[in-house]
Amino acid sequence: MTAPADYAAALRDEALAALDRAGVPGALESWRVEYLGRSGKLTAALRSVAQLPPEERRAAGAAANEAKALLERRLAERRAEIEAALAQNAGAGALDVTLPGRPVPEGRHHPSTIVMREIQAIFRDMGFQIAEGPEVEWDKYNFEMLNIPQDHPARDMFDTFWLDANRAPDGGFTTLLRTHTSPMQARIMEAQEPPIRVIIPGKCYRYEATDATHESQFHQIEGLAVDKGVTFANLKSVLYDFARRMFGPDTRVRFRCDYFPFVEPGVDMAIEWRGDWLEILGAGMVHPNVLRAAGYDPAVYSGFAFGMGPERIAMLKYGVNDIRLFLANDHRFLSQFR
């Protein structure tokens, strides 16, 4: 059996060899815990000296104390060596792999994106396709084909950013930043035959005096369904279903008459939200003139359409009280959404 004094010496040699292998500050700390820590090997050996027979105690105690003093000294020396080496490497631009990594900031989705994806998923589930169209649009699609001819008073509903490009010979404007996603109704009907069931998400622009609920750039999601025998009841059921999936199964909705030149009849839909009715979209049965302008026979085909503002919906869902926050690029606002 090893004498206690020899055991302390063996432990000392083992610890010195391990210390030579420790090359980084973290390894030094593990070494310290293993040998000199409160439950370390040498600390245990020192504690066990008291249980030895008196004749062995003195030699064993001296050996263990000597080993402890040596190891503490060597630890301090080794730490200084390592720190000096690291400092030298750092000065030479070398990589210190022992430093904790820099946190990578996690990207977030914009609240408009979150809500638009949610809306699109709901309509995709109902069998609607998704289409996109140009933000720079012709007067023809934004107004004319939607039953809003030149000088129609409804043009005042859409405060328009006109573009200088493609001015008519008489100087009149022909191109604009689209004021709504509805021009895509005309583009899609012009390009394909019924049946049509499509939603069109996208950016819109209006020359607005901005306030808490009006921005000059915002999104809309347009919906269009055209086929034989499409009725107002179909419109109501699709929108009712949407509202319940988006806002919860007990959501109450209200339809009221509204006027848009491209539908007849036209409605707005509001949902009951925190004790109040809040309008979230305009809708209606596609006007016969719009069907005709796209080359469809209104005696054969009928359709419904709707247009909603995702920012207004996001305001309801997240309790945002000013729409201008969406484009203010303020991280304190944007970092709240996932």
Residues that bind ligand YSA (CB under 6 A): 180, 182, 206, 208, 214-215, 218, 220, 222, 260, 262-263, 279, 281-284, 305-309, 311-312, 323
In angstroms, the CA 223 to CA 184 distance is: 10
Residue 162 beta carbon to ligand YSA: minimum distance, rounded to whole angstroms: 17
Which lies closer to ligand YSA via its Cβ, residue 180 or residue 197?
A: 180
Q: Cβ contacts of residue 245 below 8 Å, gap of 6+?
A: 122, 125
Which lies closer to ligand YSA via its Cβ, residue 51 or residue 321?
A: 321
Name the token pair of 5: 């004094």
Residue 279 beta carbon to ligand YSA: minimum distance, rounded to whole angstroms: 6
In the chain, the DSSP E strands lie at 129-130, 136-138, 175-177, 196-205, 217-227, 253-258, 263-273, 276-286, 302-308
Which lies closer to ligand YSA via its Cβ, residue 202 or residue 309?
A: 309
Q: Which residue is nearest to ligand YSA (CB)?
A: 309
Residue 198 beta carbon to ligand YSA: minimum distance, rounded to whole angstroms: 12
Q: Cβ contacts of residue 93 below 8 Å, gap of 6+?
A: none
Residue 297 beta carbon to ligand YSA: minimum distance, rounded to whole angstroms: 19
Residue 167 beta carbon to ligand YSA: minimum distance, rounded to whole angstroms: 25
Count other Cβ atoms within 10 Å, centred on residue 105.
8
In angstroms, the CA 312 to CA 140 distance is: 28
Phi, psi of 332 (to 5 degrees): -60, -35
Which lies closer to ligand YSA via its Cβ, residue 60 or residue 112?
A: 112
Which lies closer to ligand YSA via its Cβ, residue 32 or residue 312?
A: 312
